[in-house]
């Protein structure tokens, strides 16, 4: 029953902001699975959400604004996905907690600049590779680079979609995402779709 409640909240947040389902799911799933496997589960759930939203906003996508951050992001997240399974799970949980704390300070105090844009891409790709959460800082990046809300939603959802597909394939190849994870993916995806797009 708890997983349904968490999925409902995640779906509502994703539908309202264009991101955030991964954050909500990552608050709960580490109680069920190791952090590295949670990132794979979240990635495939968010893949479906990003696909639907990218299709909804496809007319507003500016491909040039997506390609540069996408190439940097994929390179860095590849490295973190490959080395992630060799890292100590308890340290990763502490790292995830620290990430949430630093993220809250970031949103409160940091001003926007070119340096911050690069910082957003690098830190997001590391966090996505390790925790399946790359959205919050990329929101700041795409908010700065797009001209309106529809363009923002189209670009960020295409960005998330390509990353989710790539990272999911990489996690399957590296035995992070396993067949036994499919049951939780099915349950969560159904609830996320229901509450995100109803």
| pLDDT, tens digit, 9 for 90 and up, residues 97-127 | 777 676 666 666 655 667 767 777 877 787 7
Q: Extract long-range pairs of 144-149: CB within 8 Å, 24+ residues apart.
A: 144/112, 144/117, 145/65, 145/117, 146/62, 146/65, 148/60
Residues 189, 9 contacting (CB under 8 angstroms): no
How many other C-beta atoms can be found within 10 angstroms of the C-beta atom of residue 77?
25
Q: What's this model's pTM, rounded to 2 decimal places?
A: 0.76
To the nearest 10°, report the CA torsion of 62, 126, 42, 101. Answer: -110
Residue 198 has pLDDT above 50, yes or no: no
Average confidence score pLDDT of the chain: 78
Residues 100, 24 contacting (CB under 8 angstroms): no
Residue 61 has pLDDT above 80, yes or no: yes
Share of the chain above pLDDT 70, in %: 79
Q: Would you state the pLDDT for residue 130? A: 75
> When comparing pLDDT for 80 and 131, which is higher?
80
Q: Select, from the ranges 53-57, 81-85, 181-185, the one with the highest average predicted confidence (pLDDT).
A: 53-57
Using CA atoms, how far apart are residues 185 and 195, in angstroms rounded to an integer?
15
Q: Which residues contact 185 (CB under 8 A, 6 or more apart)?
A: 41, 44, 45
């Amino acid at each position: 029953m708890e997983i349904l409640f968490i999925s409902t909240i995640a779906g509502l947040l994703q539908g309202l902001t264009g991101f955030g389902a991964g954050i909500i799911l990552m608050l709960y799933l580490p109680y069920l699975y190791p952090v590295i496997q949670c990132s794979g589960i979240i990635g495939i759930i968010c893949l479906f959400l990003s696909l639907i939203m990218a299709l909804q906003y496809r007319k507003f996508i500016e491909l040039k604004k997506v390609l540069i951050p996408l190439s940097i992001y994929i390179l860095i997240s590849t490295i973190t996905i490959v080395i992630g399974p060799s890292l100590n799970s308890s340290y990763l949980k502490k790292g995830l907690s620290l990430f949430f704390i630093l993220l809250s300070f970031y949103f409160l105090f940091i001003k926007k600049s070119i340096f911050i844009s690069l910082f957003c891409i690098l830190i997001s790709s590391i966090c996505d590779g390790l925790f399946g959460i790359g959205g919050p800082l990329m929101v700041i990046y795409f908010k700065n680079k797009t001209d309106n809300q529809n363009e923002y939603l189209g670009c960020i959802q295409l960005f998330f979609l390509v990353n989710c597909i790539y990272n999911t394939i990489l996690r399957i190849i590296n035995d992070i995402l396993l067949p036994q994870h499919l049951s939780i993916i099915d349950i969560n995806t159904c609830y996320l779709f229901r509450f995100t797009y109803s």
